[in-house]
Amino acid sequence: MIANTPTPPYYAVIFTSTRTKGDNGYEKMAARMLSLATEQKGFLGIESAREDLGISVSYWSDLEAIKLWKANSEHLQAQKMGRKSWYADFKLRISKVERDYRI
């Protein structure tokens, strides 16, 4: 589903990853993180796709909202588990969205 974002500017957090073998609790934690993120001040939406390479783009109102999400205690635990068990490789990018449109 395409996120229904507001008129720019806003921010996108782009998380690109490759997974390790097996679930190891990943699906349960991913569902919890999505639920938790939607409760965070400044969260605007998310788009995600996964095959061999996974890409999740979450949208946020400002950099402070992103900073608070990164520091959330449950999210910190998920980050730790991701580095230890779930991701063979990953990269995170933060971008300012200055324009968006539909064709």
Residues 42-56 pLDDT 10s? 999 999 998 889 999
CATH number of the domain bearing residue 29: 3.30.70.100
Identify the pLDDT of residue 56: 96
CA angle 6–67–81, rounded 5-degree value: 110
Of 28, 40, 29, nearest to 65 by C-alpha is: 40
Is the residue at 23 inside a domain?
yes
Is the residue at 52 inside a domain?
yes
Is the residue at 1 inside a domain?
no
Is the residue at 5 inside a domain?
no
Distance of CA 16 to the CA centre of its chain: 9
Would you say residue 67 has pLDDT above 90? Answer: yes
| Band of pLDDT at residue 13, cut at 50, 70 and 90 | very high
Identify the pLDDT of residue 68: 97
Its pTM stands at 0.92
A 10 A CB-CB count for 26 gives 17
Number of domains in the chain: 1
Domain of residue 25 covers: 10-97
Is the residue at 2 inside a domain?
no
**Encoded tokens for 88:** 């063979």
